[in-house]
Structure 1
């Protein structure tokens, strides 16, 4: 019996490696806020064991930032005949197949750092909330081209219903 999640015939399209910068900067900003707030609480309350909690939070952020390049490489998508297949995750892998005819919204988002690096995030939603998919870290031109293609495919598949 073959492993169902092993898809050797799929050639995954990857997100831009520049997305690593976006993800790392986001984690660093969040880490500074969390560690700073925890340090302030530990300092003003004067309970010494709170410093261990702050140190543990800092270690979690360091490990998360160290794993970010591998997590970004694990993000991929593939356009197939009837659906778009999306995957992400290292330890907990998620595979989602969204049929073109079920897509209701295809949206592009660009944050400030994304715009600076020429990246965009493509989000498409179906009626079922669990199948909403976000593909981060796409080059802007690729995101716009993919959006237009998905909209066209979704319109043609819904017309056939």
Structure 2
């Protein structure tokens, strides 16, 4: 008998030897968290204003605005978990992309269908040394964005995907 090594991906086996999801940088959680916290702060200020300053505000507004602030705060707290749910695998014929906590979305983007691979970096991502890799295919429904990659990793992955796409063009 031969000894088998334990599979760390709960039984997922992919062609080309890939068995693990590649994760994005944990620092991306901060890029996701900052805009959420800005909205939470604005909702908190609005709640304070409605509850403390405006005496004649309708009771529904006094309930809805604080509830929205709490929901946004919970959303902000889930930023780190959302980032851990983002991953990708370079398979033999396609890129497999996954994201989502409750509603997981897994997309396979065939290399031969890639028309454009773009690296973008906004001000927050630039400050963190991160980038977003965007894929454009013939289908509008497969607009895939892989956020939170280290800038060097995003550029190297872009170059690799462009080469793969050029060698596997399908009917274009």
TM-score normalised by structure 1 residue count: 0.87
The match for 2:12 is 8
Greater displacement, 13-22 / 49-58: 49-58
Q: Is residue 84 from structure 1 mapped to residue 99 from structure 2 by the alignment?
A: no
Q: Rate the CA distance shift 1:152–1:65 in 2: closer, same or farther, 3 A.
A: same
The match for 1:68 is 79
Alpha-carbon contact 1:83-1:98 (below 8 Å) kept: yes
How far apart, in 2, do the equivalents of 1:18 and 1:59 lie? 24
The match for 1:3 is none
CA displacement at 1:154 relative to structure 2: 0.5
Q: Is residue 149 from structure 1 mapped to residue 160 from structure 2 by the alignment?
A: yes
Give structure 1 stretches of 5+ with no counterpart: 1-5
Give structure 2 stretches of 5+ with no counterpart: 1-9, 14-18
How far apart, in 2, do the equivalents of 1:135 and 1:71 lie? 13
Task: Give 4+ residue runs of structure 1 displaced > 6 Å after superposition.
Answer: none
Give 2:129's match in structure 1, choosing from 118, 124, 146: 118
The match for 2:37 is 28
Q: Rate the CA distance shift 1:45–1:137 in 2: closer, same or farther, 3 A.
A: farther
Greater displacement, 44-53 / 109-118: 44-53
Alpha-carbon contact 1:39-1:54 (below 8 Å) kept: no
Can you list the C-alpha shifts for 1:82-133, whole angstroms capped at 9, x where unaligned?
Answer: 0000000111000000000001111111011111110000000111111111
Q: Rate the CA distance shift 1:7–1:30 in 2: closer, same or farther, 3 A.
A: farther
TM-score normalised by structure 2 residue count: 0.82
Q: Rate the CA distance shift 1:53–1:118 in 2: closer, same or farther, 3 A.
A: same
